[in-house]
Amino acid sequence: MTQFSSPLWRHRAVRWAVAGGALHALSLSPWCAALHQAAPAVVQTMALCLLLVALWRDVSLPRQAAAATWTYGTVWLIGATGWMYVSLHRFGEMPAWLALAAVVGLCAALSLYMAAVGWGWARWRRQVWWADALLFSGLWLTAEWARAVIFTGFPWGASGYGMLGVPLVKLAPWLGVYGLGCVWVLMVAASVWAILGGRSGKARVGVPLLLAGAVLGLSKVPLHSFTQSHGRVLSVSLLQGNVAQDEKFVSERQVPMLIWHARQIVSAKGQLVIAPETAIPLLPSQLPEGYWDQIKRSFGSGSQRYALIGVPLGDFDVGYTNSVAGLSADAMAMPEGMYRYNKHHLVPFGEVIPLGFHWFVQMMNMPLGDFTRGPLNAPPFIVQDQRIAPNICYEDLYGEEIAARFRDERQAPTILANVSNLAWFGEHVAIHQHLQIARMRSLEFQLPTLRATNTGATVVIDHDGRVIHALETNTRGVLEASVQGRTGITPFAYWASRWGLWPMFALAVLLIAAGCAGVRNRTLAPLGGDGLAIH
């Protein structure tokens, strides 16, 4: 009896996929990044190599390949997003078994896209290394596209983020994070499968060396600049309140937090002060009398100061939004007496309740859990000669939605600003991963990013994706820094602002078609459980 008659879960490729998925998750951790800036890319590449070797040597049936890639994806995503358990159980007070089941179930469901990668590759492969590499990279890109788009999307931990510390990241302003991940997969698959399946020694040695040389050559090429300095340098004050999540919505503990934020906002040294998501966690009707008016007065007529403050707006009768309020002398003349950005991309279960899941949300201690959605293409907040584009929490995970603000170059942002509260998710992993996401957005648009967060990472990121000012995480303080705005449109901003992620889907289709076409089909047969024979 060969290995192919054993249960799927005992299949050797599946066992290797567990190890590969765990390595992939490790590459997204802060501990891996602390080793060296290139360590995440190296570890992530090792992870994919384990999967690719197993697929080439140990798989003959589509269901076996699907089981292996589904396992890889599930382990990868559990390791990358396991911090969700903290929000559900510790802060949401959901039973531990249900919180764990919810995290595993979500990761397993999202990995069905990866299962389709394995099934399609085994079904359509030609056992020619370059064709199979094209096919696999196209299928991988399709899976990441689907995870980013379907059911509002949840592309956290996409493979392109692992490339931040290596030369391939220079492709980000052209291709975005998903195109970057696709190029990485194509290069790794071509190298591994050329070694395993190349018909000549030249291919087995030459292809990996050629691709490694291309990466090294890319390191010598300067990053092309699509944006230029714009306007005057802006001084900023970024607040980090470090308010424990289990205290944020407890009424008897809110007064010190409200006082601290109000004092810092009013007395900030910077021309622009930014307070994090729900820095003021109460609706206007719930605030102490005069509190909000006192803050607004310090930015009124004659003031040369500006503020962006995370605060829920609205009421329980007509609905409420997760918002950023912009205060300035000019904003006071607006109909609402302030600039207002309302979060567009809401978190399922956390900020918007999907149909039929109210029972699930009711099992959590969620003070504000059903927000109204804001517009996609919101106007910028004008600060002197800079156009600030706010986004809230995990909205910066969706670069294609931020790109919508670049359709009109005259109104395109010159600075990105993210306000977040990651106290929901623990003290380390989610903070690190969200910082990597913000760095990738700065690279895609070649714009600086300001981040004001409750617990971290409160930073200033330049247009090359480098952190140039930072506040220690999980501490209370104010980051005083300066930032230079920039104007211009990257290729990614141009095509994503017009067509979203559809160009990535088209690229995936082309790669799949190229991998399937033009090569004579071959049949597969097992070799005593150790490999595959070509007939």
> Which residues carry out catalysis?
277, 343, 393
Q: All domains of the chain, ordered by start, with CATH?
A: 3-225+497-534 (no CATH), 227-489 (3.60.110.10)
Predicted confidence at residue 520, as pLDDT, reads 56
Question: What mean pLDDT comes out for the span 233-245?
Answer: 94
User: pLDDT digits over 478-496, tens only?
Assistant: 999 999 999 999 999 999 9
Is the model's pLDDT at 522 over the cut of 60? Answer: no
pLDDT at 530 over 50: no
**Percent of the chain at pLDDT above 90?**
70
pLDDT attached to residue 442: 98
Question: pLDDT tier at 367 (50, 70, 90 boundaries)?
Answer: low
CA atoms of 533 and 515, how far apart (whole Å)? 20
pLDDT given for residue 524 in this prediction: 42
Q: Identify the burial level of 234 via C-beta atoms within 10 angstroms of its C-beta, where 0-12 means exposed, 13-18 middle and 19 or more buried.
A: buried
Question: What's the pLDDT score for residue 264?
Answer: 97
Distance set, CA 87 to CA 31, 91, 414, 427 (Å):
21, 5, 34, 12
Q: For residue range 411-421, list pLDDT tens digits in order.
A: 999 999 999 99
Determine the Cα–Cα distance for residues 390 and 343; give it in Å rounded to an integer.
9
Q: Is 384 left (phi over 0), alpha (psi -120 to 50) or beta?
A: left
Q: What is the mean pLDDT of residues 21-44?
A: 96
pLDDT score for 495? 98
**pLDDT at 1 > cutoff 50:** no
Mean of the pLDDT values across residues 226-236? 97
- The reported pTM is 0.92
Summarised one tens digit per residue, pLDDT across range 375-409 is 988 999 999 999 999 999 999 999 999 999 999 99
Residues 157 and 81 sit within 8 Å (Cβ to Cβ): yes
pLDDT at 254 over 50: yes
pLDDT band at 353 (very low <50, low <70, confident <90, very high): low
- Higher-confidence position of 535 and 7: 7
Average pLDDT over the chain reads 89
Q: Are 8 and 14 in contact (CB under 8 A)?
A: yes
Give the pLDDT of residue 534. 34
CA atoms of 478 and 147, how far apart (whole Å): 36
pLDDT band at 9 (very low <50, low <70, confident <90, very high): low
